[in-house]
């Protein structure tokens, strides 16, 4: 399987490295609007520097990984689909539902496969938790998702991110759909700016609690914050008729040091690069497997669309201070 990478930022680099360590795929070419950056990565991973268009039109390439900025996603998806390339696209697909629908139609018409980068579904802990639901819990009553970043992104990023719900909580909305296996019927969110006034000045929030009703009766609550002083807080709790599943944070090590001030463990891993290292590998393998074995994509375009749909409804709920139906 021969791969082209569009977008050589932090996430692009992760994927490049994971392709490099995979036996059954090869990174052929890399593009980035910053060609210097593309060059560095291409040397490290033994690939060519091409433009995004050249990658998409390159007959040698089977699949493209789109890791560029959100506003470019749909164009690249459409072009790649038309060029017959399979597509892996980072989240969010886009911020406009109609445009997403248009793009997904084209993808389908072209008969190519599209995976969206909700990598957390592939986290060993979370995917084991998902399996445990059906094995041990039965009907899900309540899910609690904690998702807090160690520190806010740069203000520049906030400006174009689409806001906390579309940029950050979107992973949690997808996780809620993944775990319940059902669709959201109603969203209510509350949020405020408690961490950094600059975020508030841009009209965004940094602290939020969102509650979701699902069609199958499950209730989900998600708490988000753009900053903690203790690292990346990523936890799940699933409560059902058969019991409760809890997934705690991961740490650098599990050593316990006991002294006159008490017993201490390391704080949680710093951020997504550390916490989800394994899930990035597994989502790539899942994508390559689906292509190789012609099996369904585990996290597809509809998943990408539904998460943004929930995020937009949460944003509306916040603005209008009322529950919003989907």
Q: Which residues bind its own copies (CB under 8 A)?
A: 21, 124-125, 128-129, 132, 136, 139, 141-142, 144, 146, 148, 186, 188, 190, 192, 194, 207-209, 211, 213, 217, 219, 221, 223, 225, 228-230, 233, 239, 241-248, 250-268, 321-323
Burial of 242 per CB tally in 10 Å (0-12, 13-18, 19+): middle
Tell the smallest beta-carbon distance from residue 253 to its own copies (Å): 5
Least Å distance, CB 214 to its own copies, is 11
CB of 45 to its own copies, least distance (A): 11
- Asked whether 268 and 56 are in contact (CB, 8 A), the reply is no
Dist CA 267 CA 228 (whole Å): 11
**Structure tokens belonging to residue 69:** 């900025």
The DSSP 8-state label assigned to residue 68 in this structure reads: S
161 or 210: CB nearest its own copies? 210
For the CB of residue 245, give the shortest distance to its own copies in the complex, in Å.
6
The Cα angle at residue 312 between residues 310 and 313, in degrees rounded to 5 = 65
Q: Using CA atoms, how far apart are residues 115 and 88, in angstroms rounded to an integer?
A: 5
Specify the residue, 116 or 140, whose C-beta has the smaller distance to its own copies.
140
List Cα–Cα distances, 109 to 81, 84, 91, 103, in angstroms.
Answer: 9, 10, 22, 10
Is the Cβ of residue 39 or residue 270 nearer to its own copies in the bound state?
A: 270
Least distance CB 283 / its own copies (angstroms): 18
Q: CB nearer to its own copies: give 76 or 232.
A: 232
Cβ–Cβ < 8 Å for 22, 83: no
Our CB check for its own copies shows the closer of 266 and 300 to be 266
The token pair at 200 is 């508030």
Nearer to its own copies among residue 36 and residue 260 (C-beta):
260
Dihedral of alpha carbons 184, 188, 193, 195, sign: negative
Q: State in angstroms the smallest separation of the CB of 139 from its own copies.
A: 7
């Amino acid at each position: 399987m021969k791969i082209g990478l569009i977008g050589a930022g932090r996430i692009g680099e992760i994927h490049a490295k994971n392709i490099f360590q995979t036996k059954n795929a090869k990174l052929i070419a890399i593009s980035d609007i910053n060609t210097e950056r593309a060059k560095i990565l291409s040397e490290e991973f033994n690939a060519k520097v091409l433009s995004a268009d050249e990658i998409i039109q390159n007959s040698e390439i089977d699949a493209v990984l789109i890791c560029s900025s959100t506003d470019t996603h749909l164009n690249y998806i459409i072009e790649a689909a038309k060029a017959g390339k399979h597509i892996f696209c980072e989240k969010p697909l886009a911020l406009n539902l109609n445009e997403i629908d248009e793009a997904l139609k084209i993808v389908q018409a072209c008969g190519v496969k599209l995976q969206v980068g909700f990598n957390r579904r592939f986290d060993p802990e979370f995917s084991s938790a998902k399996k445990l639901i059906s094995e041990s819990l039965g009907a899900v009553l309540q899910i609690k998702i904690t998702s807090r970043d160690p520190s806010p992104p740069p203000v520049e990023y906030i400006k174009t991110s689409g806001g906390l719900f579309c940029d950050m909580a979107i992973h949690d909305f997808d996780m809620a759909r993944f775990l319940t296996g059902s669709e959201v019927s109603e969203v209510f969110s509350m949020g405020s700016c408690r961490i950094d006034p600059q975020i508030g000045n841009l009209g965004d929030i940094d602290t939020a609690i969102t509650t979701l009703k699902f069609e199958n009766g499950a209730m989900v609550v998600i708490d988000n914050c753009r900053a903690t002083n203790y690292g990346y807080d990523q936890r799940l709790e699933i409560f059902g008729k058969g019991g409760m599943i809890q997934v705690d944070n991961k740490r650098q090590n599990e050593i316990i040091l006991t002294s006159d001030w008490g017993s201490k463990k390391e704080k949680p891993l710093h951020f997504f690069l550390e916490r989800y290292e394994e899930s990035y590998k597994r989502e790539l393998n899942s994508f390559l497997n689906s292509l190789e074995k012609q099996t369904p994509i585990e996290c597809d375009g509809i998943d990408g669309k539904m998460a943004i749909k929930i995020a937009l409804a949460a944003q509306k709920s916040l603005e209008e201070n009322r529950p919003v139906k989907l």
